[in-house]
Structure 1
């Protein structure tokens, strides 16, 4: 195993912004960053994967499921072998599309169910995200998915290869939440006949809960929990059961959002960034009817993933959130004070970070991105001795 020593990115706060300004509910300021030297962890390489996208620990903490974007699911035994899991659905690989998230059912120890997200082909050149569930089986023949069934799809499928989002999270009460990107088509984020640009809430079998905010409307509208999202690539619940997301803004304006039922987050009508062609987008504070981010970033961090830390290995971080950064090549720690939040630390990892999770023992685990067929390392972060 390779032992790595990492440094903290020393990024100055905007001189005009106080710490209080940086955690304001409008999220318009670049947050202050507290630099710590030396970093409080050591990163140890545990394995290498090809274009890894997501990971999930199995009960017991000795095995880890890892998705590879081109369409392979790997079962990695810590300190041991890696085997490919059979029965994975065919994926539409290309652009941002491919095999995506992997999560366990809250009662996995009883039912063995896992949930996968991925891009699937449609008619012509169209594509859309889907979520399927299956039972993970390990026996003398190896590892496989049995009884795979698609329980959710993006509607409609569209041309283009981006903004699937398709992060998955189970709520403490067992409901299934899915982040659905607007597929780089802007307007679907406000179209109530589409589930693009939305966060959706389902039962664990894909059916619609009767108490969803738009359940009476029927169809895909009934799935919607919140709308006006762009490309939410992180979805997680804090210790109180509150749902949060992180999403990529356009040219500027990455967001951390407190996700509430019926709330409209405004994209593309408002954003704290602008279009890539330079056309301005009004800021959130010009349209108070839209929910504003709790934090926004310009320059961007390109968030890839989100978790809330609850372990004992890093006691000072309990209750913090961690965001994987792509263009920022960083691990970003978020501290909370009630409904407000601020960026507390940013650790320079030297590579694009695609996923972050917490291990059963409280260690932090990271997946490097590994773009376009390249390899990315699996790293374990433990306290510096």
Structure 2
């Protein structure tokens, strides 16, 4: 999305388990044009759990059926299992709450039951009117009223005066047998007017980074020790990644906003260049071509899938539970622009079907997560936003 409120973004999808027989390099070379989405208005219903949330951006899960929800103006709230909404948590750092900036993603640590640790990212104010995406760690107090031991682990460089393209999705990396490896992925936007930075390695604009849970740089990051490159960088050439998740096999999946058209899904691999703004399936908002109008170039990865027109994706999750007959292995994506939940099916390395769920919600869907109870949960990006539970009809 851009500061003129164009709700246009990148997307694509699939289930990594279905790709196990293909090398990842081959998968990345297989780009597939959009399929015609099939409306399924009666396939699922949305139950309202809570109302009165101001532009909620993300939902995480706490013990005893509780939820932790971020609100973009700069707050976090606990929502009780019965839907009652607690006062804002104390101890939240100052945020640059303007345009697309504010309090954004949040996840709980895989060992949360023991350490009460969570990670969140937000627009961090800098000198003057500058800002950038930051990732912080904190503990939730025993009484659930405040954040303790708040520590910033990472700040995007350089800070820049912009209210757009913060990226800001967090994924805890897991490796063999689904065990966490002690690192986090963080997605970062190109800040809109600094899009050419996405092709250079001396900045964090338009990148996905990987850091340790203590803020350290993993030794096996692809650019560690390389002159002129920031060592946190995992992949580059991204525009504005607002959806990221792990597939059941541990593969990182991410979707990013395109300009006018060209929402993409990628499987970001270490050291790879995903092309923005040199190659894209989108156009300028004026309708003009971007750069030389290229869609392919040697040394740049093709998206696994792209959308034209843009659906404005934000948030994504694989279905791994048995709650939804026939959906296991599908990828769910929340759509802001067209206000529906996309269910994407994959066969033989291709997106073979997209199903439009919940078109009657009538609100911008900002996040989708599968909870520990196996149900899917959504938040709606409005001044009177909601927390919803998705049930099959």
For Structure 1 versus Structure 2, the TM-score category normalised by the shorter chain is: 0.7 to 0.9
What residue number does 1:150 align with?
A: 152
TM-fit CA distance, 1:334: 1.6
Secondary structure of 1:187's aligned partner: helix
Displacement of 1:339 in angstroms is: 4.2
The residue matched to 2:124 in structure 1 has which SS? strand
Shift of 1:340: 3.5
Deviations 1:16-35 (A, max 9, x none): xxxxxxx9955452223234
TM-superposition CA deviations, 1:50-93 (whole Å, max 9, x none): 11000101134x10000000111000102153222111111101
Q: Is the 8 A contact 2:49 2:83 kept in 1?
A: no
User: 2:63 is matched with which residue?
Assistant: 59
Residue in structure 2 matched with residue 333 of structure 1 by the alignment? 343
Q: Which residue does 2:33 correspond to in 1?
A: 29
CA 1:30–1:147 in structure 2 vs 1: closer, same or farther (change >3 Å)?
same
Q: Distance in 1 between matches of 2:253 and 2:102?
A: 24
**Aligned residue number for residue 313 of structure 2:** 303
Asked whether the 8 Å contact 1:31–1:295 carries over to 2, the reply is no
SS in 2 for 1:233: strand
The CA deviation string for residues 157-191 of structure 1, in whole angstroms up to 9 with x for no partner, is 11110000111011113320000111011111112
Whether 2:289 is the aligned partner of 1:271: answer no
Which structure has more strand as a fraction of its residues?
1
Asked whether the equivalents of residues 228 and 268 of structure 1 are also in contact (C-alpha less than 8 Å), the reply is yes
Question: SS of the residue aligned with 1:143?
Answer: coil
Distance 2:131 2:228 in 1: 20
Q: TM-score, normalised by structure 2?
A: 0.86
CA RMSD of aligned residues (A): 1.9
Aligned counterparts of 2:106 and 2:270: Cα–Cα separation in 1: 24
CA drift of 1:137 comes to 1.3
Unaligned runs of 5+ in 2: 1-26, 175-179
Q: Of the candidates 82, 85, 107, which is equivalent to residue 85 of structure 2?
A: 82
- When normalised by structure 1's length, the TM-score is 0.88
Match of 1:41 among 28, 39, 44: 44
| Aligned equivalent of 2:371 | 359
Count of equivalent residues: 355
| CA separation of 1:79 and 1:296: change in aligned 2, threshold 3 A | same
Greater relative contact order (CA < 8 Å, ≥ 6 in sequence) = 2
Match of 1:178 in 2: 186
Matched residue, 1:20: none
